[in-house]
Structure 1
Amino acid sequence: MEIFELKYFLAAANNENIHKGSLDVNVSPASVSKAISRLEAELGVNLFYNEGRNIKLTSQGQALKLRAHSILQLEEDTRYLISGDKEKINIHFGADEILQSFIGVEVTAKMRKLFSKAALHLSIGDDKSNLKKLTDGEIHLALISTDVPKDLKAKTINKVIFKTWAAKNHPIFNGHKKNHVFDIQEVLKHGFVVPSEALLGKITEHGSLDGWREDKFPRIHAYQVQSLKVMENYVRSGRAFAYLPDYYFADEDLVPLQITGCSFNCQQSIKLVCKNPEALGWLSKVWDLF
């Protein structure tokens, strides 16, 4: 069993396709097929079975996938331990799109400062898929907003506050050009653009997908959308408000409303999660940054 064979095996397993896997490791599909055949002959089991044009892991293949990730990471960490900065490390980091775009930028900047030669592989996915990737060893770290299983390590690195955002051309500002303070009842006369699915991770237990307390202050859902970019466009057009994290907008054309008569304030805890930060020397250094 050779290191390169495990790399080729993982490439095929992650893509569920030998041709696509070969592109990830820059070799021919025939080389990937031969590596898999050698592993199967050595282990005496089938690692894949065919499903249409793709391949799927058998139970033995699933077991090898978990162990292969650990072996390759340990091999890479050993090279780094012995050779130091001469060796490039691969950091696999997951988060959903909005966290990756904002908080993830700050997190990876700290990683880059610590390991200037590191290759950062950024994975986009929801909390559920990233937690599974952590458990399976496919990624090293993830930003998570939901509850974290006890077998994973987590630390809160950010507390996000949600605000009601509006464009300066919104009708609510007519006669209030220099004043962003509004009573909740005045705000509720206008429509909101709201997500139709959980675009922002876990926020609240009250049923609202963006954290707004509908049970206390029911809104007009003028637009329901499946994209944060579409939500942003409706806000910028002046057609609707949106209830979004405080980091989401950073320009002068959009302002957060200061609302009176409304006592609640939605907060979201963002956690950095890892399977075992002590398993790899370089990973423990990253973990200690936060």
Structure 2
Amino acid sequence: MDLLQLKYFQAVAKIEHMTKAAQILQIAQPALSATIARLEADVGVPLFNRAGRNIVLNEYGKVLLMRATRALNELEAARQEIGDLSGSKFGYVSFASTAMNKHFCDLLASFAQLHPKVNFQLTQTTDENAKLSLLENGEVDFIFVIKKIKRSDVVCIPLVEKDVFLAVPAAHRLANRHTVSLQELAGESFITLKADHSIQEFCYSMCLKRGIVPKVICKSDSAQGLVNLVAAGFGVAFFPAPRKYVPNLPFVLIKIEDFDYNNFLYLAWKEKRYFSKAALQFREYIIQNGPDTLN
């Protein structure tokens, strides 16, 4: 068993698809299959259940994935710590976030300009539980979340307070309104995010309380997909945005009269783990500049 086998196994285990994993790893699929076969021969048991072209991680594979992820994360932490001790000017920061809008990207770009040799690993997902799993497994340094994580081993710092607005296309019948009531939205075609999302759940429950069942015509995999669909006139959507909002979206945001809701964008990290100098600089920069830039 060697590190390359473990890295390849980790990639296949996450995707559960040999060809797609080979594409991500940029190696030939037969070579990847042979590497996994050697690993299985080494541990003495199959790590995946196979049915034709489909592969699913089995109970043995789940045990190895947990241990392998922990070991690979420790080795990466060691590499970063040695780099810090040796005075290396290069750094590495990894994080997961839902938002990748212009304000967020501008914040990252401004940090990168100050630290041009820092490398980033960005994971974009709307699934809050997936972000927490990445943090727990040590796969990312930080996560940006919209719901406070109440755990003793996780630090969660509020950055920006947000409200929920109604997003409508520029040519929509309500586009010239400053406020709208939920009753006026009966019959509207809604676009939502496919992943479980606390904001979407709240909006849906508020509609039900007023006797309205939102007509969902499309569930998007990504926030950007939702933005594009609303902008194209496909439907309307409940959309979180900072209270000090600077219009820079391809649709109109309208305040919802019936909503008594606000939430924060939080920056979270595991309390007991090694952070590279680059990660510490990134964290300090986000805390100091995030509230102003993201508003």
What is the TM-score with the length of structure 1 in the denominator? 0.68
Listed as ranges, the matches of 1:1-290 within 5 Å are 1-84=1-84, 85=88, 89=92, 91=94, 93-96=95-98, 99-101=99-101, 104-105=104-105, 108-109=108-109, 112=112, 113-114=114-115, 116-146=117-147, 148=149, 150=151, 152-165=154-167, 169-171=171-173, 188=184, 192-195=188-191, 201-203=197-199, 207-209=202-204, 215=209, 224-227=217-220, 228=226, 229-234=228-233, 243-246=238-241, 250-251=247-248, 255-257=252-254, 262=257, 264-276=259-271, 278-282=273-277, 283-289=279-285, 290=287
Could you report, residue by residue, the CA deviation over 1:100-138 in whole angstroms, capped at 9, with x for unpaired residues? 446653564466454634142323342233333433444
Describe the shift of the 1:196–1:203 C-alpha distance in structure 2 as closer, same or farther (beyond 3 A).
closer
Which structure's CA Rg is the greater one? Answer: 1
CA contact (8 A) 2:162 2:263 kept: yes
Which moved further from structure 2: 75-84 or 220-229? 220-229
Q: Identity of paired residues, percent?
A: 20
Q: Secondary structure at the match of 1:120?
A: strand
Q: Which amino acid aligns with 2:184?
A: L
Describe the shift of the 1:168–1:78 C-alpha distance in structure 2 as closer, same or farther (beyond 3 A).
closer
Greater RCO between the two (CA within 8 Å, min separation 6)?
2
Q: Which amino acid aligns with 1:226?
A: K
Structure whose residues are more often helix by fraction = 2
Describe the shift of the 1:212–1:31 C-alpha distance in structure 2 as closer, same or farther (beyond 3 A).
same
CA contact (8 A) 1:193 1:241 kept: yes
What's the CA shift for 1:8?
1.6
**Aligned counterparts of 2:250 and 2:19: Cα–Cα separation in 1:** 48
What's the CA shift for 1:202?
0.8
CA contact (8 A) 1:90 1:118 kept: yes
What is the TM-score with the length of structure 2 in the denominator? 0.68
**Aligned counterparts of 1:252 and 1:79: Cα–Cα separation in 2:** 41
What's the CA shift for 1:159?
1.7
Unpaired runs of 5+ residues, structure 1, are none
CA contact (8 A) 2:159 2:266 kept: yes
Could you report, residue by residue, the CA deviation over 1:255-290 in whole angstroms, capped at 9, with x for unpaired residues? 54567xx47443122223334562343545544443
Q: Which amino acid aligns with 1:47?
A: L
Q: Which amino acid aligns with 1:233?
A: A
**Aligned counterparts of 1:4 and 1:232: Cα–Cα separation in 2:** 45
Could you report, residue by residue, the CA deviation over 1:185-239 in whole angstroms, capped at 9, with x for unpaired residues? 9x8388644346667821277x533x856636x669577443423334338xxxx
Partner of 2:290: none
How many residue pairs match? The answer is 272
Describe the shift of the 1:189–1:104 C-alpha distance in structure 2 as closer, same or farther (beyond 3 A).
closer
Q: CA RMSD in A?
A: 4.2
Could you report, residue by residue, the CA deviation over 1:18-42 in whole angstroms, capped at 9, with x for unpaired residues? 3332332233334434433443444
Describe the shift of the 1:158–1:22 C-alpha distance in structure 2 as closer, same or farther (beyond 3 A).
same
Describe the shift of the 1:226–1:75 C-alpha distance in structure 2 as closer, same or farther (beyond 3 A).
same
